[in-house]
Amino acid sequence: MGVLPLQALSDELQQRGHCVSVHDIFDPDHIPEALIHEAFHADVLVGWSLGGQLAVTLSHYLLTHDQQIKPVITLASNPCFVASSDWPHAMPVQAFDQFQQQYLNESQATLKQFYFNVCRGDQQAKAQWQKLVTDLSKPNESLYTQGLHWLQQLDVREVLQTIPSHHIFAQKDQLVPIAAMHALQQQYSCEVMQGMSHAFPVFHAQETAMRIQHYLQRL
């Protein structure tokens, strides 16, 4: 959805004294050099949804190439978005394949439904959905198609073990089941946003910023 939905969270964090740079999704197999350089000088990497997986990937890259340890905070992110035999806490393969095919056949209608699923679970879901539909610019079709491929292929569970991380989930997330948090909290620092949807970093920016800051203060 681009960087616009995260502007309110960026503003909240900056008001709390943090320097924030927001980036769109990127190819995890060919990370842009400019992003690597910026991440090298950052204190922490934060990612929402697919961005959480990419933040973990970027942190692992810095560890293996530059011996830099960069903590990661993920927001409503599943280390493996599509279910498998050893990770059932995700979207079923059939459901993902169906969504992908619908997007390829009818992108605009599918995106509207996707935006609603992002908001579904929040008490203000309809109003939030209408705001997303109104505010978001025309999608980058090629980037969306690539993003679907990355969601389907990325599995960062193994590299997650090599970096410090904190994971914030939403109780009523319709895209990342809360079972993913229950599985991760056996090994990692996790917390849950009660009564919120996948879109909590967008529409509950103040509380999200507060949770991020609390974790940073413990580092």
Q: How confident is the model at residue 203 (pLDDT cuts 50, 70, 90)?
A: very high
pLDDT digits (tens, 9 = 90+) for 17-36: 999 999 999 999 999 999 99
pLDDT at 142: 87
End-to-end CA separation in angstroms for the chain: 30
> Residue 18 corresponds to which amino acid?
H
Contact 193, 204 (CB under 8 A): yes
Largest CA-CA distance found in the chain, in angstroms, rounded? 47
One of 60, 167, 198, 204 is an active-site residue; which one? 198
> Residue 115 corresponds to which amino acid?
Y
pLDDT at 146: 94
Is 135 catalytic? The answer is no
Distance CA 132, CA 117 (A): 11
> With respect to CATH, is domain 4-218 assigned 3.40.50.1820?
yes
As given in the structure block, the two tokens for residue 142 are 């090629």
| Token pair 């410090």: residue | 164
Distance CA 27, CA 72 (A): 18
As given in the structure block, the two tokens for residue 15 are 């008001």
Question: Nearest Cα to 173, choosing from 95, 113, 121?
Answer: 121
One of 49, 77, 165, 197 is an active-site residue; which one? 49
pLDDT digits (tens, 9 = 90+) for 181-199: 999 999 999 999 999 999 9
Is 49 catalytic? The answer is yes
52: exposed, middle or buried (C-beta count within 10 Å: 0-12, 13-18, 19+)? buried
pLDDT digits (tens, 9 = 90+) for 149-183: 999 999 999 999 999 999 999 999 999 999 999 99
pLDDT at 173: 98
pTM of the entire structure? 0.97
**DSSP code of 86?**
T
pLDDT digits (tens, 9 = 90+) for 74-124: 999 999 999 999 999 999 999 999 999 999 999 989 999 999 999 999 999
Distance CA 6, CA 164 (A): 23
Is 27 catalytic? The answer is no
Helices 107-119, 125-135: inter-axial angle, 10-degree rounding: 140
Domain ranges of the chain: 4-218
Distance CA 154, CA 107 (A): 22
One of 60, 89, 173, 204 is an active-site residue; which one? 173
Name 133's Cβ contacts closer than 8 Å, sequence gap at least 6. Answer: 112, 115
pLDDT digits (tens, 9 = 90+) for 39-85: 999 999 999 999 999 999 999 999 999 999 999 999 999 999 999 99
